[in-house]
Amino acid sequence: MADRTLRVCALFPDLMNIYADRGNLLLLQQRCAWRGIGFTLTGAGHGDEIDPDGHDLLYLGGGQDRDQQLVAEDLATHKRDAVHAHAARGGAILAVCGGYQLLGRSYELGEEEIPGVGLVDLHTVRHDGERLIGNVAIEVDLPPAGGIGGRRVLAGFENHGGRTHLGPAATPLGRVLKGHGNTGTSGHEGILHGHAVVGTYLHGPLLPKNVWFADWLVARALGIEEPLAALDDTLEDAAHASARRAAGV
Ligand code: GLN
């Protein structure tokens, strides 16, 4: 496995990085290093080209509405074709919170509608009512990669004003066990699309709290089917248990 390298590109890392997005990237880097998998990280900001064949994982982090307004146009026009081509050839995408909202068709903010990159069948509407905030746990059922898959619990934290409505062609990432999820009432959280396109409202240290999910993503991105080398996850398992306890699951 030593000759493998995970090539990550963070989209708009200066604007779409609310909460722990940088930490999620560091976690991927460290777990690759521990396993002898190479790791490269590049960023693509406004006006930058994305090489559709140059990355294994695109990362689009969280952002406030105003950050999303700043990046949406560039993402939906300049970067659109490359993001679609990347996903079509099986490249992985992790999009969190504000980034998740921009994976879809559009984000309605009152009178204004900002475009999404149109990769997945969803749209988001900013709600006047309460923000959906709190610890959250969802049950996912993932296709296998790296010896990981099946039914597992993802635990994290959500904080969003938008309500995300999945279209008929969309598969949610998981079933809400505790918390709000996509709309607060649908019972669904996130989206799972194609080979490895994941959108989720679970932000903050999503990957440090769910290292098995980080491993799944790496394996999926690199097309690794065989079990990944085991690591000492004593601390990481404790972090996961603590996140689940916080959500009451
Ligand atoms: N601006 C979005 C919302 O509030 C996403 C917020 C975020 O990324 N935390 O719905």
Tens of pLDDT, residue by residue over 203-215, are 989 999 999 999 9
Instruction: Classify 39 as helix, strand or coil.
Output: strand
Instruction: Classify 28 as helix, strand or coil.
Output: helix
Closest by Cα among 117, 128, 28 to 72: 117
Q: What are phi and psi of 124, to 5 degrees?
A: -120, 140
Rg of the chain on CA atoms, in Å: 17
Mutate to test the pocket of ligand 1, among 107, 125, 160 (most ligand atoms within 8 A of CB): 160
The structural domains of the chain, with segments of one domain joined by +, span 5-247
Atom of ligand 1 nearest to the CA of 62: 8
Give percent of the chain with pLDDT exceeding 70: 99
The token duo for 21 is 């997005």
Residue 204 has what pLDDT?
A: 81
Residue 131 has what pLDDT?
A: 96
Angle at which helix 211-222 crosses helix 234-247, to 10 degrees, equals 110
Contact 176, 187 (CB under 8 A): yes
Say yes or no to pLDDT of 20 above 90: no
Distance CA 52, CA 86 (A): 5
CA of 151 to the centre of ligand 1 (A): 27
Distance CA 83, CA 177 (A): 31
Residue 103 has what pLDDT?
A: 98
Mutate to test the pocket of ligand 1, among 94, 101, 189 (most ligand atoms within 8 A of CB): 101
Atom of ligand 1 nearest to the CA of 159: 9
Distance CA 98, CA 63 (A): 5
Contact 167, 145 (CB under 8 A): no
Q: Is the ipTM beyond the 0.90 threshold? A: yes
Say yes or no to pLDDT of 18 above 90: no
CA of 55 to the centre of ligand 1 (A): 26
Residue 240 has what pLDDT?
A: 98
Task: Over range 236-241, report the average pLDDT.
Answer: 98
* pLDDT, the chain, mean: 96
Say yes or no to pLDDT of 16 above 60: yes
pLDDT digits (tens, 9 = 90+) for 46-103: 999 999 999 999 999 999 999 999 999 999 999 999 999 999 999 999 999 999 999 9
pLDDT digits (tens, 9 = 90+) for 113-152: 999 999 999 999 998 889 999 999 999 999 999 999 999 9
Q: What are phi and psi of 218, to 5 degrees?
A: -60, -45
Residues annotated as catalytic (active site), given as ranges: 97, 203
Say yes or no to pLDDT of 196 above 70: yes
**182-200: burial string, b at 16+ Cβ within 10 Å, e else:** bbeebebbbbbbebbbbbb
Atom of ligand 1 nearest to the CA of 19: 9
Residue 19 has what pLDDT?
A: 78
* Structural fold of domain 5-247: Rossmann fold (3.40.50)
Say yes or no to pLDDT of 110 above 70: yes
Report which residue type is found at 170: A
Ligand 1 binding pocket, CB closer than 6 Å: 18, 62-65, 68, 97-98, 159-162, 203
Confidence of residue 6 (pLDDT cuts 50, 70, 90): very high
